[in-house]
Structure 1
Amino acid sequence: MQTITTMQAVYQSLEHVMDPEIPVLNVLELGMITDVKVDIEGVHIKMIPTFAACPAVDIIKENIKNAVERDLQMPAFVSVDKDVNWNSNRLTAEAKAKLRDYGIAPPGRHEGDVNMDMLVKVNCPHCGSENTYLRSPFGSTLCRALHFCRQCGMMFEQFKPLS
């Protein structure tokens, strides 16, 4: 019974750990948490970055550790899960809606293969128009591409699809 309550508390705590680059999304919505175990030593959490070379991984690990230790008053051990690779299908529906509201086009769902069309054919998160074009496959971070909407004239980023 104690473990169930503690597991619920861990996940409640993780809901408040936001991505430092997209602060409207938490690590659960991003699909970054791969395993949680609670034992006599404390809470053991495995996480994965959204991009292999993500520069924020150490900050996210530290934020997870600090939040869980503060909220549960027990030691937390956070490690990168080397057995699981993140892909954009791990984003929750809530995450995709929040991305759109934040002005970032969410990635489309894929069946394991990401093709160029998924990077080129992107709806504008501001007006919903399909009349957009890829300005650059490189945005402000490694996981984003830069687009322009011919309909509303807005530049916007897309969270890149990744398999």
Structure 2
Amino acid sequence: MVSPAPWPSAEAVWAALEGIPDPEIPVVNVVEMGIVREVQVHEGRATITMTPTFSGCPALHTIRESLEHAVRKLGLEAEVRTVLSPPWSTDWISPEAKQRLERYGIAPPKPVGDLIQLEPSPTRCPRCGSLDTTLKNSFGSTLCKSIYVCNTCHEPFEGFKAV
């Protein structure tokens, strides 16, 4: 009697999820953004725990569907759990993703850490590197970004909000 093939491992699921781009910032994926928190595989079922960047994120439905689709393509049943505590932090974004954001023209978030800053540090222009920038609007194209203008190269750019 031939034994059934083993189910894909949690590592295989993680690898599949790394192929899912963030719907709002396609140069980074949902794993390196820190949205996917945990993957468990047991008897043909993958349980994925995710924490959204913002509880009202308009891309939540798309992310959930993409996670489920990637798991089903591996031959597993999918369960996606949303966990809001601890809340997502920009500190969960991988260093590689922060570099890719900058190359894409989005100023990556500064480390949040545990301290409250009374005066925010300047946001570096992702195009010329200048710290001489001005916040023009705290609401960018998505909830997680603000709009800046560089006073050196005069180019507008988005900056990722640190949360």
Quote the residue 2:79 is aligned against.
77
User: After superposition, where does 1:91-110 map in structure 2 within 5 Å?
Assistant: 91-110=93-112
Check the 8 A contact 1:114/1:161 in 2, yes or no. Answer: no
Residue of 98, 111, 114 corresponding to 2:113: 111
Residue of 11, 14, 37 corresponding to 1:11: 14
Shift of 1:41: 4.6
Letter in 1 for 2:62: I
**TM-score using structure 2 length:** 0.90
Shift of 1:42: 0.6
- Matches of 1:114 and 1:55, distance apart in 2: 28
**TM-score using structure 1 length:** 0.90
Asked which structure has the greater CA Rg, the reply is: 2
Deviates more, 1:143-152 or 1:75-84: 75-84
Shift of 1:117: 4.0
Quote the residue 1:43 is aligned against.
46
- Matches of 2:36 and 2:17, distance apart in 1: 9
Quote the residue 1:57 is aligned against.
60
Quote the residue 2:3 is aligned against.
none
Residue of 86, 89, 103 corresponding to 2:88: 86
Residue of 26, 29, 32 corresponding to 2:29: 26
Q: 1:18 to 1:131 in 2, by over 3 A?
A: same
Check the 8 A contact 2:52/2:84 in 1, yes or no. Answer: no
Secondary structure of the residue that 1:79 maps to in structure 2?
strand
Quote the residue 2:69 is aligned against.
66
Structure 2 alignment gaps of length 5 or more: 1-5
1:122 lines up with 2:123 in the alignment: yes
Secondary structure of the residue that 2:40 maps to in structure 1?
strand
